[in-house]
Structure 1
Amino acid sequence: MTDAHDTGLPGGVAISHLSVYDWPAADGECGGTPHMHLACSEAYIVTGGRGVVQTLTASGYEATPLRAGTVAWFSPGTIHRLVNEGGLRITVLMQNRGLPEAGDAVLTLPPEYLTDPQTYARATAIPADAPEEEQERVARARRDLALEGYRALRQAGGPEALTAFHRAAAALVRPRISEWRERWRQGAEVDAMATGLQLDWLEQGQFPHLADAAVRSQQPSFRGKFGMCGRLDVYQD
């Protein structure tokens, strides 16, 4: 081998296939759990059905329609809620593979559940070894709890409540930053550095990396996982 280039998906991304929950909520809309990422951008490629992604940022509230063929993406700090209006299916691309799986997401729970990592974990963890019916019950309960906090943020209407949520979310993940940094270094940073090295070689009239060309493929390592927004088919990073 000519370098230590990571063999994951291009650009340090992670991919999953999402069937958005059709569970009705108290407001009459069906869908997933509102949450926010702190260090990763996210992209949706809509492959079927229809729906909406509701978002909250410092610029205010927006609702982006989702139809087959739509590509929508948003940066860290965007609170987002998927609403399923009928058979909504999405291929999700996440920046910085390894970080989302390591907890780069905070649900919009009411403030009393955001006080410390242990309190937050008790309210959000889905027991992996529990029967599917129990996993679904927990997933629905945490979705409904997150919607309580989400509605309060929307109704507040000003930057103060949003800033308070950002502050609480940042404090929750702070103990994990060293772990995240190492995952980033082994994933997305490796990809970026590999491109720089390849450009250096090409500028010098060299091309050793071309002899290492390879084709890789993968099937989902887990199907139907209860995620934040729906049932997930996930791939090993």
Structure 2
Amino acid sequence: MVQHEELPFPFSGQLPLYEGLPGGIGVSRLRVYDWLATDGRRGGTPHLHLTCSEGYAVTGGSGAVQTLTADGFRETPLSPGSLMWFTPGTIHRLVNDGGLTVNVLMQNCGLPEAGDAVLTLPPQLLADPGTYRATATLPADGGEAELAAAARRRRDLAVEGFTELRAASEAGDPEPLAAFHRAAVALVRPLAARWRERWQTGAAAAAAATGAQLDRLARGDADYLAHTAVRAEQPAARGRFGMCGRLDVYDVA
């Protein structure tokens, strides 16, 4: 008989039942900003995630994803039907060439919402956590026009920082990107313990449930098939100002 401690994550003795989306992912619908930036491109706010891969399933319009990693800059075109994803540490910027709409898939549902994103603001705005949050956080009680203006200001600052990082990378200087990585880790390090708790009840719990089901299946135990869940959701919020555009978000955790 398989003992509980042999599973990757402990549980209470009852069969783990994870009711979130498959694999513990998050999902949202995104209409990418069409605001013009200083480089003549329209789109969202460059940023990276520290623990979450991100994927785009394009549903309409056209555009591109600009990415910057230690391997350099890349621009990937997007059109309806495109599927594209990238791993943590990838700086990414969505570019809207006309009506770009995307279904966004996020690893580790709950972690991006808890702050797993750092914008590519200029270095002087990254050195102090208070300064960074004051610049990156939208007003909690602002009206539509105020929120749009604040989202656009932080987008423009992040594009400024992103442009400098890209230029250094293309000139063969890796240090500015490495410095940004260090600043990003310093900003979010205090959140790591809380992120671990969210991960344990999300993606880790989903994996543990699969492990328990495989154990039951190997023993020929069909009882676990009687423990099910069916859920359906409408967006919990529509048109929220996000980093890359206006978001319809779902409460699927």
Q: Which TM-score applies when normalising by structure 2?
A: 0.92
SS in 2 for 1:112: helix
Q: 2:198 aligns with which of 169, 183, 191?
A: 183
Which residue matches 1:220? 235
**Structure 1 vs Structure 2: percent identity of aligned residues?**
61
Equivalent in 115, 120, 124 of residue 112 of structure 1? 124
- Output the CA distance in 2 between the equivalents of 1:116 and 1:15: 31
Asked whether the 8 Å contact 2:25–2:109 carries over to 1, the reply is yes
Using the alignment, how far apart are the partners of 2:128 and 2:250 within structure 1? 30
Q: Are the aligned partners of 1:198 and 1:207 in contact in 2 as well (CA < 8 Å)?
A: no
The match for 1:209 is 224
Bigger CA radius of gyration: 2
C-alpha separation between the residues in 1 aligned to 2:14 and 2:168? 55
Aligned match of 1:89: 101
CA distance in 2, matches of 1:49, 1:214: 35
Q: Is the 2:67–2:91 Cα contact (8 Å) retained in structure 1?
A: yes
The Cα offsets for residues 84-103 of structure 1, whole Å up to 9 and x where unpaired, read as 00000000000000100000
Amino acid in structure 2 at the alignment position of 1:39: T
CA distance in 2: counterparts of 1:4 and 1:199, whole angstroms: 12
Aligned residue for 1:74? 86
- Mark the runs of 5 or more structure 1 residues left unpaired by the alignment: none
Deviation at 1:115, TM superposition (A): 1.0
1:161 aligns with 2:173: no
1:1-237 alignment runs, 5 A limit: 2-157=14-169, 158-236=173-251, 237=253
Residues of 1 paired with 2:30 and 2:183: CA distance? 28
Letter in 2 for 1:199: L
Q: Return the letter of the residue paired with 2:211.
A: G
SS in 1 for 2:113: helix
Q: Mean Cα displacement is larger for which, 121-130 or 144-153?
A: 121-130
Q: Distance in 1 between matches of 2:182 and 2:223?
A: 47
Tell me the distance in 2 between the aligned counterparts of 1:7 and 1:143: 35
TM normalised by structure 1 equals: 0.98
- For the aligned residue pairs, the C-alpha RMSD in angstroms reads 1.1
Unaligned runs of 5+ residues in structure 2 are: 1-12
1:13 partner amino acid: I
Name the SS for the 2:73 alignment partner: strand
Output the CA distance in 2 between the equivalents of 1:2 and 1:60.
48
